[in-house]
Amino acid sequence: PRTPLQWNIPIPETNRQQAEEQAPAGPYLLISPCSSQRARNFRNWSAEGYSRLIDHAYRHHGLHALLTGGNTELEQQYGAQIHALAEHKPVNLIGRTSLKTLLALVEKAHLVVAPDSGPMHMATATGTPALGLYASSNPDRTGPYLSRQWVVNRYPDAVRAYMHREPDEITWGQRVRHPDAMALIRVDDVVERLDALL
């Protein structure tokens, strides 16, 4: 039987206060640009793409941007690159939040933009729309459960380009392990989904 999808993950008041103090003033989109670091895990979009999206969201929708992520060297580099490239500078909290504070920031966000990663599912749990960026993994398997209509899906293109097969010829959910897969996602693809969502 259908039941309401409710996660009800508790967020302590101290974490909510930290999120309030760290978040931009006014409405914001939360970007978690990187997926987990593993061998041949090519799920990160370009810093240039994120910076152009940030500027579009601010110019056309009045949304500020907030960057989040872990404290790895790669994530720190991504944050610095995005910050340097964007005209409207995002608040960079990469490596500076706990998971519960991140959850509070996700809950407070207007929307979350990320590749196949934990913050996509945190957005689902908090009822925040999630704009997922998918090319190396299949969003039908790992996409944000309640925001599938907002996903940019270049997975079928990546399967054809880098595996030389049709999506229905491979195992369901098989990953495209090619470093250029996420480059199939164009800025215009993401802007179109952002505009439609907003």
> What pLDDT does residue 173 have?
82
Question: Which neighbouring-strand residues pair with 65?
Answer: 29
Predicted TM-score of the model (pTM): 0.95
The DSSP H or E segment spanning 111 is: strand 111-115
And the tokens for 38? 């593993």
> What pLDDT does residue 39 have?
64
- Which residues, including other chains, have CB under 8 Å from residue 159's CB and lie 6 or more apart? 165, 166, 167, 170, 176
| Residue-level pLDDT, tens digit, the chain, 198 residues | 788 888 999 999 999 999 999 999 999 999 999 997 766 678 999 999 999 999 999 999 999 999 999 999 999 999 999 999 999 999 999 999 999 999 999 999 999 999 999 999 999 999 999 999 999 999 999 999 999 999 999 999 999 999 999 999 999 889 999 999 999 999 999 999 999 999
Q: Residue 6 in contact with residue 126, Cβ under 8 Å?
A: no
